[in-house]
Amino acid sequence: MKRYWQLITFGIIHALILLVLFRSGFYHNSSMEHDTSLFFNYASKVVGGALPYQDFSIEYPPLALVFFILPRLVASSLAAYQLAFAVEILIFDCLGLFFLFKLSQRLKVKSYVTLAIYTIIVLAIGPIMINRYDLIPAVMALASLYAFSQGHHKTAWAILAAGTLTKIFPALIAPVFLIYLICQRRYRKAISGVAAMAVTAAIIVIPCLLISPGGFWNSFSMQMNRGLHVESLYSSFLLLGQNLGLTSVRIQMSGHTPISVNAVSPEANALAKIAPAVILIALALVYWLFYRRNRSKIDSNLMDSPDDTIRVIRYSFLAVLVFLLTNSVFSPQYLIWLCPVVPLVIRPRRHVPWIMITLTAMVTYYIYPMHYNGFMRGSAQLNYVLLFRNLLLAALAVWLIVEKRETAAVSQKHPASRLAFKPYALAVSLAVAAVLVLFDQVALNEFTSASQIDSGMPGGGMQPGGGSDNMQGGGFGNNQAGGGPGNTPNNGGPGSGSQRPSGK
């Protein structure tokens, strides 16, 4: 028990953050609760006997629905459900702490530093952590990386399949696993791993296909048909062009569920169409670099060594980051995908990645929910803020690609455990970083009134049971005639507040 005191301490801290701080009003979180209302609605339908994909449409993969239903089994009201859902997120958060703790030991880095870094990132992300379910698949991806580092390859592939059918992005790690095993000439393990992933996926998917094949595939097609999301990297350049008078862009809400807040223009439509090709090319580059660098470092005497773990984690993180940047949809909660893994990107220069992700999260929170009304109405200043956020992530991706130093913690030349500060100085530095993140929230709360926040989302009020009086074609910004914010649907489910786009 004594060896786990750090893990227990951080578990208590995270319980206070997620269940007390994030629900206390210290952060502005009322505008983030619409997704839990949607989850409550879906879960209530299933508990009432309805079949997903057949009796009602749902835009989420099948295992996501399981995690919506579990809190509903112990909560019959929306308020109780939101608390139960937050507890479910906390459970996965604590699992994430455990896997971070174990991987830190494997990589020979100070576990309290890793856990503290993760805690700071959680504070920067804010209440969206407990109002979206993205942390669940993110922790699944981390669990898969841990199992793979331990040599439990079939388990790692099976967990990866479960994560993929909770939210699609963990599938991006599968090629990293496959390339690693091929480079190590472990062909049987590669085949058995892919088979384990396929069997796990089949066990989950086949019941859905038996219920309603059309409804199941429609849950994916409705996501693929979304336009160019206004917060994507592509859109931020279009908005920059609008600021400079080079082009004209409308910001428009469209769709029913999921709602998509899109940039609309001929250029935006063209970028949305080429985005899938850009994703494939960018990911191919990442996987090729991993193959090239991993192949050159094969040592039959050091299979599954800390060096290997560092490379697998780094390129898994990079694949997800590149996917975010090249995707046509980039919702704020997608940053959660990076949170559990970034503290383990220890080479090169351990502190650069997590500091950049923390800053990115703070800037994202500044846009949503703090100033989303101004952003939706075409604020030039907020367009620059969005561009800065996206360029910061792009710079991190480029830096990770270009930087070649990947020395393990056990290396004599560049020991990752050798820190530039004495232990007490490092602890103070991390504490100061956490205080600065919290101070940022205080400053935002001080200078942004509640009325600004409440009106700072697309949509005015919420009608019980959903419904919209200005949904399709409603627009925002200086370049849209007659467009204005109207009520947005909640697709059923109680609660008030403005709707944000949801996505897989």
Residue 428: pLDDT band with limits 50, 70, 90: low
The stretch 276-284 carries a mean pLDDT of: 96
Q: Which of 170, 92, 73, 169 is closest to 130 using CA atoms?
A: 92
| Three-state secondary structure of 331-350 | CHHHHHHHCCCHHHCCCCCC
Residue type at position 122: V
Structure tokens at 151: 């040599």
Q: Give mean pLDDT, residues 403-421.
A: 46
- pLDDT of 40 > 90? The answer is yes
Residue 70 predicted with pLDDT over 80: yes
Q: Is the pLDDT of residue 496 over 70?
A: no
Over range 327-349, report the average pLDDT: 91
Place of tokens 């419904």: 467
How sure is the predictor about 295, in pLDDT bands with cuts at 50, 70 and 90? Answer: confident
Phi, psi of 128 (to 5 degrees): -60, -20
pLDDT band, residue 354 (cuts 50/70/90): very high
What H or E segment, with its residue span, contains residue 475?
A: strand 475-476
Task: Yes or no: say if 53 and 219 are a contact pair by the CB < 8 Å rule.
Answer: yes
pLDDT at 474: 40
- Residue 177 pLDDT > 60: yes
pLDDT, average across residues 96-122:
94
Mean pLDDT of 110-139: 94
Amino acid symbol at 296: S
User: What distance in Å separates the CA atoms of residue 189 and residue 178, rounded to the nearest whole number?
Assistant: 9
What is the C-alpha separation between 356 and 353, in angstroms, rounded? 5
Phi, psi for residue 321 in degrees, rounded to 5? -65, -45
- Decide: helix, strand or coil at residue 461: coil
* Predicted local confidence at residue 423, as pLDDT: 56
Contacts of 218 (CB under 8 A, 6+ apart): 53, 57
- Which of the four pLDDT bands, split at 50, 70 and 90, describes residue 305? confident
Task: Answer yes or no: is pLDDT of 416 > 50.
Answer: no
Instruction: Tell me if 147 sits within 8 A of 155, measured CB to CB.
Output: yes
Mean pLDDT of the chain: 81
Query: Mean of the pLDDT values across residues 256-277?
Result: 86
The predicted pLDDT at position 78 comes to 94
Q: Are 197 and 203 in contact (CB under 8 A)?
A: no
**Pick from 153, 161, 158, 155: nearest CA to 178:** 153
Is pLDDT at 192 greater than 50 in this prediction?
A: yes
The order of strands in the sheet holding 260-264 is: 260-264, 250-254, 475-476
Per-residue pLDDT, 438: 63
**What is the rounded distance in angstroms from the CA atom of residue 271 to the CA atom of residue 282?**
15
Cβ atoms of 160 and 173 within 8 Å: the answer is yes
| 487: CB partners within 8 A, 6+ apart | 459, 460, 461, 462, 463, 467, 468, 469, 470
Q: What is the 3-state secondary structure (H, E, C) of 211-265?
A: HCHHHHHHHHHHHHCCCCECCCHHHHHHHHHHHCCCCCCEEEEECCCCCEEEEEC
Q: What is the pLDDT of residues 161-174, one digit of tens each?
A: 999 999 999 999 99
Token digits for 127?
Answer: 């209440």
Most confident of 243-257, 363-377, 471-485: 363-377
Residue 452 confidence (pLDDT) above 70: no
Rounded Cα–Cα distance for residues 165 and 269 (Å): 29
User: In the predicted model, what is the mean pLDDT of residues 336-344?
Assistant: 96
DSSP string over 119-153: HHHHHHH-THHHHSSTHHHHHHHHHHHHHHHTT-H
pLDDT for 374 equals 87
Q: Which of 3-7, 34-38, 121-125, 225-229 has the highest mean pLDDT?
A: 121-125
Which SS3 state, helix, strand or coil, does residue 165 take?
A: coil
Phi, psi of 262 (to 5 degrees): -110, 155
What is the pLDDT, as a whole number, of residue 468?
Answer: 31
Report the pLDDT value the prediction gives residue 26, as an integer from 0 to 100.
Answer: 81
